[in-house]
Structure 1
Amino acid sequence: MKKHLFYLSMALITALFSACGNGKKGVFTPTSSGRAYEILVVIDQELWERPAGRALYDVLDSDVPGLPQSERSFRIMYTSPANYDSTLKLIRNIIIVEVNKDLYTQPKFKYAKNVYAAPQSILTIQAPDEASFEKFVEENRQVIVDFFTRAEMNRQIAVLENKHSDYVSTKVKSMFDCDVWVPGELTATKQGENFFWAGTNAATGDQNFVIYSYPYTDKDTFTKEYFVHKRDSVMKINIPGAREGMYMETDSLMTDVRPINVQDEYALEARGLWRVKGDFMGGPYVSHVRLDKVNQRIIVSEIFVYSPDKMKRNLVRQMEASLYTLKLPGSKQEGNEMPLAVTKKDSTKTEK
């Protein structure tokens, strides 16, 4: 009997440590520290002050697109390798800079998950010299920003998996045959023709989710002009203002679109500003335009925020994670975690 208990105990311990090795949080893995969108850069102080270090700083300090005011992508901290101690190794987002001509022949990324704590993402940038490091960082600025943005969104998706609005999920399933997770705080709802809205109705920091559909009949559907026209027509009917003649509309000059991958399928991302015609209300929005191949229709999912007296980066990104959980009819995608933006060509991956 004791022998069986011994083997059972060993099996449990092995399983716990295996969970850590697979990039998942085990019982013995500390919880990471730091706030969302906060990054620690481990770099020699002199290098940090020279052009190569400034290039990395400028990437991390770049503005978040689609917001009405300037907000930088990340809160930046830095430390020298000598001071990179056990406490700092618990921070959730870390960039390690390694410039060494004896070790590297070309610049590349190396990334790892949950090495010292969980959830945690560590991106190491290696280069033989400062000039190649600076060029590599400038050429891959969007890759670096997307890597940590997606890591944070994946953490939000993990939260949503266990804590989302069952009512909204059920309603979206019944109306559109789609699966989606949105925060449980979105308790106010409205239903229209092929349209559904959920929001917090908060006086400030108001977060909203919208989904609507229409037939796929036009080859120009995935263009900025078509998107803005369709969005304005849908919102005019379904999101009216406080008085007659007021309704939500799109600021087309402040809207940018780009192709992205969602649930392993093509999508058009639109990001910009909305406003209420005839009123002073407005704020940022993000939309995903996707093709439902099963039903030959377009599904548009969108989040928008109204927060005139607060910074909006975290409010938008928190809600934006919900867009990546949307599964269309016939989807065979397992899980909702977003792939990180680092490409195989320029990187190696390790998990400890």
Structure 2
Amino acid sequence: MKKTAIILFFLITALSCSDNQQKLLPASSGNINNISVVTNDELWEGAVGEVIRENFGRPIYGLPQIEPIFSLSHIPSKVFSGFATKSRTILKIDVSENEGVFNFKNTYASPQRIIQITANSPDKIIKIINENLNSIYSTMYFNEIQEKQRRISKNLNKTQAIKKNTGVSLKFPSAYRVAKVDSNFVWIRRDIETGSVNLFIHRQTNLTEQSIIEKRDSISKIYIPGPVENTHMSTDLIYTPNTQQINVGGKQVFETRGLWEIEGQFMAGPFLNFQIKLGDDDFIMLDGFVYSPGSTKREYIFELEAIMRSLKD
């Protein structure tokens, strides 16, 4: 009995120390989708840096302007100390005999993710990056999604309109307001200085991958009017929408990215559409779209994606 009590004491003490260490970590820093790349100047300015920029700084599909997936900030290895170590998402590249990809969580700050790639030559580093590209990208991307959702959760809109009319719930900021409600339909929007950020939710049947754009446009014709009579939002088919299958919370989802327009009007922008299967012939369509002429739109679409990924039925 005494031995058990001693073991229990040390176990509780160890857990307490771990919790205290976590609490003592400073808050991480950095804008959403900003990745700190820690490596020496020679690697950054050479072929390794080119591979990093080509893959993690490539343009996002479905935006009217060229905007990168991540904003990359180079930090030379020799100055990686102090405040620089507090970045939330870090890609660390080193020449070392210890070859591989290593993940570290909350090392210098919290929340924080460090992906370290090491090999004994630049060519081998490039080989490791190419072989592990999808997992490296996913780790960084979903680290940013989680951070965006964490920030959103600090001040949520408490409306029950979405749950009441569509049977699902979403976590979205209080800055959004309910713009329109109908049977199986809710439109929420956030007014910004240059326009608006929007999301509609529609529960429906008879959806297929091939019918996404047709259904999207039919809903928009009913519920998303243009600035003058007899105009409405529709999909810009000149810029081909891109659809791929993804997984969101264990559910099969068709994700479509593209551009919308209002015919005859100088109004257009990007959209992100999720078609989510809830059951047999039971679907939810989430459609986020942004109107913000003259400004960058990556962060608005990313915010909509973070909201859409919070769906619960």
Q: Given the two structures, how large is their TM-score scaled by the length of structure 1?
A: 0.79
Q: Which of the numbers 266, 270, 287 marks the counterpart of 1:280? A: 266
Deviation at 1:80, TM superposition (A): 2.9
SS of residue matched to 1:257: strand
1:20, 1:114 within 8 Å by CA — same for their partners in 2?
Answer: no
Instruction: Measure the CA separation in 1 of the matches of 2:20 and 2:169.
Output: 30
Instruction: Measure the CA separation in 2 of the matches of 1:273 and 1:146.
Output: 24
Q: What is the aligned residue count? A: 303
Residue 153 of structure 1 corresponds to which residue in structure 2?
145
Residue 191 of structure 1 corresponds to which residue in structure 2?
181
Deviation at 1:192, TM superposition (A): 2.5
Q: Which moved more, 1:185-194 or 1:307-316?
A: 185-194
Amino acid at match of 1:298: F
Deviation at 1:42, TM superposition (A): 1.4
The answer to whether 1:268 aligns with 2:263 is no
The answer to whether 1:19 aligns with 2:4 is no
Residue 337 of structure 1 corresponds to which residue in structure 2?
none
- The runs of at least 4 aligned residues of structure 1 exceeding 6 Å deviation read 10-13
The answer to whether 1:163 aligns with 2:155 is yes
The answer to whether 1:110 aligns with 2:102 is yes
Q: Given the two structures, how large is their TM-score scaled by the length of structure 2?
A: 0.89
Instruction: Measure the CA separation in 1 of the matches of 2:17 and 2:266.
Output: 55
Residue 249 of structure 1 corresponds to which residue in structure 2?
234
Deviations 1:140-188 (A, max 9, x none): 4444333322211101112233321111xx1111112212111111114
SS of residue matched to 2:236: strand
Residue 29 of structure 1 corresponds to which residue in structure 2?
25
Deviations 1:50-91 (A, max 9, x none): 212221122222112211000122222223322211221111
Instruction: Measure the CA separation in 2 of the matches of 1:136 and 1:68.
Output: 33
Instruction: Measure the CA separation in 1 of the matches of 2:235 and 2:92.
Output: 41
- Larger relative CO (CA 8 A, sep 6+): 1 or 2? 1
**1:205-220 alignment, distance < 5 Å:** 205-216=195-206
Residues 160/80 of structure 1: CA separation in 2 closer, same or farther (3 Å cut): closer
Q: CA RMSD in A?
A: 2.3
Amino acid at match of 2:269: G
Gaps of 5+ in 1: 1-9, 329-352
Work out the percentage of aligned pairs sharing the same amino acid.
28
Amino acid at match of 1:246: T
Q: Which of the numbers 70, 75, 78 marks the counterpart of 1:82? A: 78
Residue 136 of structure 1 corresponds to which residue in structure 2?
128
Amino acid at match of 1:200: R
Residue 177 of structure 1 corresponds to which residue in structure 2?
167
SS of residue matched to 1:87: helix
Amino acid at match of 2:224: I
Instruction: Measure the CA separation in 2 of the matches of 1:244 and 1:103.
Output: 66
Residue 51 of structure 2 corresponds to which residue in structure 1?
55
Residue 40 of structure 2 corresponds to which residue in structure 1?
44
Deviation at 1:203, TM superposition (A): 5.0
Gaps of 5+ in 2: 1-9
SS of residue matched to 1:200: strand
Instruction: Measure the CA separation in 1 of the matches of 2:186 and 2:310.
Output: 16
Instruction: Measure the CA separation in 2 of the matches of 1:62 and 1:151.
Output: 18
Instruction: Measure the CA separation in 1 of the matches of 2:13 and 2:296.
Output: 45
Deviation at 1:117, TM superposition (A): 0.6
Q: Which of the numbers 275, 278, 281 marks the counterpart of 1:296? A: 281
